Amino acid sequence: MIKELSPSIVRKIWGGIKLEKMKGLPITSQGIVEPIGETLEIYEKHLPYLAKFIDTSDELSIQVHPGDEYARIHENSSGKTECWIILEANDNAGVYLGLKPYVTKDELKSALKEKKAINELLNFYPVKKGDFFYVSAGSIHAIGRNITLAEVQQNSGITYRVWDWDRLDDKGVSRELHVKKSLDVINFDPTFNTTEFFRMKKGLLQIDGLNELCSHPDFHLFHLNLKKGEVYQRELTSLTRPCSILNLEGKIKINQTDVASYCAVTIENESQLSVAAIESGSLLLIF
């Protein structure tokens, strides 16, 4: 069965207008102009993963997600490891990911207490279309402004906000921080704050065929580029859970179902998968 999914729109003050244009979505909510921060594309309760599109006009908070064990004990939830595939980025846009070499827990704790700019303790990576990042639970991070990306993650909403750029809302109130829990779960080991650990890749949209991006117990992620007329086929009988496709660019036909750009499907109880490119483009396969 090929199940076509409808997105769930999440409006955020830091959101932008690119998702509205990409997906043909309304930009207003109940008569109030409100930017779209996320569209949840694959968010089935029975799946251990989910996928979304994110669009930013401002920096997101600097945050961290717990691993499975900590989340189970403290949140009665799974942890949250995620991946980013950059779809669009303005000049000079980038992401904050991981601590600079030898930043210690005490140093970060002191910087937070003294209300210093926490972003200065993190690595900043300029980004371009086609870049990939693996953001493991425990990795401190923030998506910068003017970036549109696809995110695949564990099916969890647990986020600990470390620092929020000293922002205040229209009532002069700052958002809640979760400093104690953040310090509990941030990975300070320098070997877990490197480009190698984040499995950074560039130019994904220029690489022919199928490319494995990461293998996690809750999601096995591949990126596939197809030229017009090409067909990708795979046997599915060995899978132990439904798979999903998040289409990034170009119209495709999945078995006998047409799927437009920036749309998603789940695939269940099918013995074979056939993806035919009606137009040249790219997609994510999640197993």
Can you give the pLDDT at residue 171?
76
- What are the boundaries of each domain within the chain? 59-192, 207-286
Task: Name the region of 203 (left: φ>0; alpha: ψ -120 to 50; beta: rest).
Answer: left
Can you give the pLDDT at residue 61?
97
pLDDT at 62 over 70: yes
The mean pLDDT of 199-224, rounded to a whole number, is 96
Helix, strand, coil % in the chain, rounded to nearest 5? 15, 45, 45
Please list, in sequence order, all residues whose beta carbon lies within 8 angstroms of the beta carbon of residue 270, skipping any fewer than 6 positions away.
1, 2, 236, 255
pLDDT at 29 over 60: no
Can you give the pLDDT at residue 258?
97
Using a cut of 0.85, tell me whether the model's pTM lies above it.
yes
Length of the chain (residues): 287
Of residues 27 and 260, more confidence is placed in 260
Q: Which of 19-28, 73-82, 251-260, 275-284 has the lowest mean pLDDT?
A: 19-28
Angle at 25 between CA 273 and CA 48, to 5 degrees: 45
DSSP line for 221-256: EEEEEE-TT-EEEEE-TT-SS-EEEEEEES-EEETT
Can you give the pLDDT at residue 100?
97
Can you give the pLDDT at residue 35?
87
pLDDT at 27 over 80: no
Can you give the pLDDT at residue 87?
98
CATH of domain 59-192: 2.60.120.10
Distances (CA, A) of 238 to 2, 217, 224, 234: 17, 16, 20, 11
Instruction: Give the whole-number percent of the chain exceeding pLDDT 70.
Output: 97
**For residues 111 and 108, what is the distance between their CA atoms, to the nearest angstrom?**
5
Q: Which of 20-34, 140-154, 208-222, 248-262 has the lowest mean pLDDT?
A: 20-34
Can you give the pLDDT at residue 269?
93
Question: Given this structure, which CATH class describes domain 207-286?
Answer: mainly beta
Options 11, 72, 145, 161, the catalytic residue: 161
Give burial (CB, 10 Å; 0-12/13-18/19+) of 104.
exposed
129-176 confidence digits (pLDDT tens): 999 999 999 999 999 999 999 999 999 999 999 999 998 876 778 889
**For residues 105 and 229, what is the distance between their CA atoms, to the nearest angstrom?**
53
pLDDT band at 49 (very low <50, low <70, confident <90, very high): very high
Q: Which of 22-36, 158-172, 220-234, 255-269 has the lowest mean pLDDT?
A: 22-36
**For residues 94 and 273, what is the distance between their CA atoms, to the nearest angstrom?**
36
DSSP class of residue 174?
P
User: Which residues are registered as beta bridge partners of 246?
Assistant: 264, 284
Domain 59-192 matches domain 207-286 at the CATH topology level: yes
Can you give the pLDDT at residue 32?
61
pLDDT, mean over the chain: 95
72 is catalytic: no
